[in-house]
Structure 1
Amino acid sequence: MKKLINRQPGRVGAWALGLLPFVLLLIVYMVASDARLTENPNDKLLPALGSFVDAIQRMAFEPSKRSGDYLLLNDTLASLQRLGIGVAISALVALVVGIGNGTIPYIRSTLSPLVTGLSLVPPMAILPVLFIIFGLGELAKVMLIIIGITPFLIRDLQQRALEIPEEQIIKLQTLGANTWQIITRLVWPQLMPRLIGAVRLSLGPAWLFLIAAEAIAATEGLGYRIFLVRRYLAMDVILPYVVWITLLAFAIDFLLRRYSQWRYPWFHQQAH
């Protein structure tokens, strides 16, 4: 008989075990909601599941009486645009600076202390500064994402570049490769799948910074809507929005992972 540490669930079993905690949470919520609503039918803290259905129908499938827009769609597009721009710029800057810091000692001596210092600054602490400098428009929200995750991405890629075996670099130099050829033919290909992995890890903080910025200064967006309706204790809107943000984050993470597996199969085979 195999020991528990050596037993692996099958495909169906893995899916069932993965869904089990969500089912248990749903059951706990339904029991707690029923208890509160029995005591107070007007309770707004834990609304019934039917209230969620009505709220989703109103936010996603019915045009707003004030603007005529579909609010969930507009909020989603606004937030995804900000998130996409912020993460894309962060990844590009991190790739360039991370490669420079990891491969060229003069660049590392110049920029590495600055990057380390920036990574220790709490991004939320400088949010008022960003609004003062960049105004209340889109730029401040995107900049918060960039400032929040770029130092982490740079430090991760710098460390990955430093971990490239020195023997590989020496071999290319022996074959006559210059610095640019070493970067483009050795460092760049090895860092790209690691960049995707680092971006996946940074999506959680990126969403956090985005929602915080939208809550303070925005006229549309998922974070804006959550903080707008909280004054009415509209948990039937807030909780579906939270679940929707989670699903969006999961979908983005899934797509990045599948792209990495398709584009860099050698890296994932090596990881296993």
Structure 2
Amino acid sequence: MKRLINQSPNRVWRIGLALLPFALLLMLYISASEARLAENSYDKLLPSFQQMGDAMYRLAFEPSKRTGEYLFWQDTGSSLQRLGIGMLIAASLGMAFGLMTGALPLVGATFSPLLTVISLVPPMALLPILFIVFGLGELSKVALIAIGVTPFIARDIQKRALEIPREQLVKAQTLGANSGQIIVRVLIPQLMPRLIDAVRLSLGTAWLFLIAAEAIASTDGLGYRVFLVRRYLSMDVILPYVAWITLLAFVIDYALVKISRFAFPWHAQQEGK
């Protein structure tokens, strides 16, 4: 008798099993929504898919009477722009700090304790300070993402740099490479795919900081819209927006995976992907 621990589904079964929980949750939601709406047609807690579709159609395809803009696409564009700029800054700073502290022992001994302390500071606690220093504009929101994510990326890159076999550095020095050449030709090529992995792992945190900043002080954005309509109990808007944020996060993560596999195929093979 084949033991359960040794059984592995084939590709078709794997896809089916992966979709099963989503199908069950969907059926559960539809049943609960129909039951609540049958009891009270004005119920807002569990709107039907028709109600959510109508709400999203108004936001996505009908211009706002106040501004004339398509709010759904404006919110999406604003949030993605803030997220993209913040993550780009965080990835650049994290790579620089992580590389220097991991590759150069003198720099690591000097700044590693500071980096550890900074990583322990809750970024959300800094949000009022950022609003005071940078104002309520775009800069404070981007700064929150960058400040919140940079320490994580930096510490991860530092750890990865320290894990690179010492033999590679010795061989490069034997061939006459100086410190700068070792960093550029030995360390950075091996750390770039790790940087993409670190960005992927920190995306969820970045979305959290973005939505929090937009909810507190913004005039557009996905987080702003969700917290704006909550006062009206507009679940027909909140639920699609949450689903859209989740889809965007998935697409960004998937795109980073494809970029990593295309640019660094050796890393995918090394990780067994």
TM more than 0.5: yes
Alignment of 1:119-134 (within 5 A): 119-134=119-134
- 2:220 maps to a residue whose letter is E
Task: State the partner residue of 2:102.
Answer: 102
Q: Aligned-pair distance for 1:223?
A: 0.3
Alignment of 1:1-272 (within 5 A): 2-272=2-272
Q: Aligned-pair distance for 1:65?
A: 1.6
Q: What RMSD in Å do the two structures reach over aligned CA positions?
A: 1.0
- 2:124 maps to a residue whose letter is M
Distance in structure 1 (CA, Å) of the matches to 2:142 and 2:110: 26
Q: Aligned-pair distance for 1:14?
A: 1.9
Q: Aligned-pair distance for 1:49?
A: 1.4
Q: 1:2 to 1:186 in 2, by over 3 A?
A: farther
The answer to which of 30-39 and 208-217 deviates more is 30-39
Distance in structure 1 (CA, Å) of the matches to 2:133 and 2:202: 25
| SS across alignment from 2:184 | helix
Task: Report how many aligned residue pairs link the two structures.
Answer: 272
Runs of 5+ unmatched residues, structure 2: none
Distance in structure 2 (CA, Å) of the matches to 1:177 and 1:5: 50
Deviation string, structure 1 residues 62-108 (Cα, Å, up to 9, x no partner): 11122111111000000000000000010011111111000101111
The answer to which of 12-21 and 46-55 deviates more is 12-21
Distance in structure 1 (CA, Å) of the matches to 2:229 and 2:160: 44
Distance in structure 1 (CA, Å) of the matches to 2:253 and 2:134: 30
Q: Aligned-pair distance for 1:163?
A: 0.4
Distance in structure 1 (CA, Å) of the matches to 2:99 and 2:255: 25
Q: Aligned-pair distance for 1:177?
A: 0.9
Runs of 5+ unmatched residues, structure 1: none
Distance in structure 1 (CA, Å) of the matches to 2:11 and 2:65: 47
Percent of aligned positions with the same letter in both sequences? 64
Distance in structure 1 (CA, Å) of the matches to 2:125 and 2:51: 37
Distance in structure 2 (CA, Å) of the matches to 1:60 and 1:132: 34
Distance in structure 1 (CA, Å) of the matches to 2:70 and 2:13: 39
Q: TM-score, normalising length from structure 1?
A: 0.98
